[in-house]
Structure formats: structure tokens, C-alpha cells
Amino acid sequence: MTSWLLRRLIQALFVVLAMTVIVFLGVNVIGNPVDILISPQADQAERARAIIALGLDRPIWEQYGTFLWSAMQGDLGKSFVFNEPALRLIASRMPATLELAVTAVLLSIVLGIPLGLYAGLRPQSLGGRLIMAGSIFGFSLPTFWVGLMLIMVFAVQLGWLPSTGRGQTETLFGVPWSFLTRDGLAHMVMPATNLALGNIALVLRLTRAGVRETLPMDYIKFARAKGLGPARVLFVHVMKNILIPIVTVIGLEFGSIIAFAVVTESVFAWPGMGKLIIDSINVLDRPVIVAYLMMIVFLFIFINLIVDLLYTVLDPRVRLDSRE
């Protein structure tokens, strides 16, 4: 167990290192921040001063060295725009994204699993077919389009739900949260649904496929031959088996939801990391972009680790020690 964890951490370290190189180089190729950050009216001297102040005059490998050195001390540079440590900037926007992502994941669990169970148990029924047909929309409609439609119907036409921002927040552990107030919750409904849609479809289909695959197994028939009731058979014997792929996918999707909250946050002007990164890309605020990408890498590695751990809890056949 510990040796497995150690091995995983070393692997993770290499992944992070590789990512720093890729991210740093990638960001230096998209454009020259000097043109954007310094007004065109500025004279040569002013330009030169700004370039030196931002460290943009030194060769790329040196910039990378500095970047890596400070990164190891938790300093990913200051935002050109906000003149604030990039990491702190990201961290301050993270709760907004996290509460949106967690809500979206919860939605895909509480809607996706029951719908998938139903469609799996009654594949021929009208309900089962409708669910499957509906899930195709969840997959194929583009997020931004669904977001705009939601706004048009529920905010513009019906006027039921607010469409921009986080609404009223309440502070908990020194962080403002929307889900603690009625107004904040109302503001979350549309963006969270928008973000969850693809995932509901995914979880639903996985659940249905799992049920269809598990039901004909001998051990299910044996469970019934033992005299167990349908609830016990479904929620223990079937569920415990299909939870393995579902947990894996939900775990991995959680990372993607955070990474791709970009679109939803832009549509609903939700002040999270996604909106911040779009704004930063527009002005080529390199430290923020780098900090954001690094944050996402860390998040994915962390989530993968958790998923692997959960996996071993759910599936007794997987032993951490014997795995490479």
C-alpha cells in the first residue's frame, strides 16, 4: 500500500515536470504579451522597463528556469493584469468553480443512476426507450448552445431563473459560497444543469449497460435462487458490480467538468476559474494561464489517485501491492 502510494507519487512528479515544460513552452508560443500589456503610445524606454520588470527580456530557457524555481516554492508568478500572485488569483476563483462542478456531479449521480437502472431493467418499455433517446441529446448538443437556450427560455421568456453571476453568497471558512443562500442556489440551477447534461447522459448509459451486462450473470440468478428479494439483488448484487466503472468514470469526469467549466462559466458569467482563464487568454496573462494549467494537472493527478484508491475498495480483485 505505502510502496504503491510512493510509486504513484513519483510518477505524478514526473508528469507534473513534463507538464511544466509543455505548458510553459505552449504559452510562450501563443503571442507576445508586451504588445497587449503596454499601451501602444508608450515610448521605447517605457517598453524596455516594462519588459525587464516582467522578465520577458531573458531567453526562454532562463524564463523557464526561474519559473520552475519559483514554482517549487509555490510561486507561479504575478498576474500581469491584476498584479496579484497568479496562484492566489486562481485559488480565489476556485470555490465558485468547485461548487458548480460538485453540483453537476451530484446531479449526474442522482439523475443518471436511477434513470440508467430503470432503462436497464426495462429496456423494452416506453420509459426505457425515451430515456435512451433523451441521452443522445445530452451527448450531442453543444454545451454553449444548450446554455443559451436555457437562458432564452428560463431567464428571458419565462423569467423564472437568474442567468448571470453567482447571486448572493454566504461566507463559510472565509470563502464565499452560493449554495448557502436561496438566491445563490437559484443562480446555480441553470449553469449546473448545463454543465451536468453530458454527464447525466454518460452515467445513465454506463449504468444501463452495466445492468444489462450484469443481470444475465449466473451469480444474479444464484442470488435469486437463494430467496433474496429484488431490492437486495439490485442494490447489492448488481449495484456493487456496476459501481466500479461508474465511480471510475465519474471521478475522471469530475476533472473534465472542472477543466471544461470554461464554456458554461462564460455563458452564464459565472466568476470561476474558467471565466478567469478565458479572460486571461484574451490578454495573454501568461502567469495566470500557466498557473491555471498547472492547477488542472494537479487536480487530474489527485483525482486519479482517489479513483484508484476507491477502485480497490470496491473491487476486491484489485490488490494495490501486486499492481504495477
Residues forming contacts to other proteins in the complex (CB under 8 A) are: 216-219, 221-229, 232, 236-237, 240-241, 244, 314-317
Closer CB to other proteins, 58 or 319, in the complex = 319
Q: How far is the CB of 222 from other proteins (least distance, A)?
A: 5
* Distance between CA atoms of residues 186 and 171, nearest Å: 17
Residue partners of 162: CB distance under 8 A and separation at least 6: 155, 183, 186, 187
Give the other-Cβ count within 10 Å of 175's Cβ.
15
Give the other-Cβ count within 10 Å of 198's Cβ.
24
Q: What is the largest CA-CA distance in the chain?
A: 87
> Within 168-232, where are the H helices?
182-214, 218-225, 230-232
Closer CB to other proteins, 53 or 217, in the complex = 217
Q: How far is the CB of 217 from other proteins (least distance, A)?
A: 7
Q: How far is the CB of 105 from other proteins (least distance, A)?
A: 23
Closer CB to other proteins, 223 or 296, in the complex = 223
Name the nearest CA neighbour of 194 among 306, 270, 127: 270
Name the nearest CA neighbour of 265 among 275, 254, 280, 276: 275
Backbone angles phi, psi at 55, to 5 degrees: 70, 20
Closer CB to other proteins, 96 or 211, in the complex = 211
Q: How far is the CB of 224 from other proteins (least distance, A)?
A: 6
* Distance between CA atoms of residues 117 and 209, nearest Å: 9
Closer CB to other proteins, 121 or 186, in the complex = 121
Q: Is the separation of the CB atoms in 189 and 163 below 8 Å? A: no
Q: How far is the CB of 246 from other proteins (least distance, A)?
A: 13
Closer CB to other proteins, 54 or 113, in the complex = 113
Closer CB to other proteins, 175 or 239, in the complex = 239
Q: How far is the CB of 244 from other proteins (least distance, A)?
A: 8
CA 152 to chain centre: 25
Residue 193's region, left for phi above 0, alpha for psi from -120 to 50, else beta, is alpha
Q: How far is the CB of 241 from other proteins (least distance, A)?
A: 6
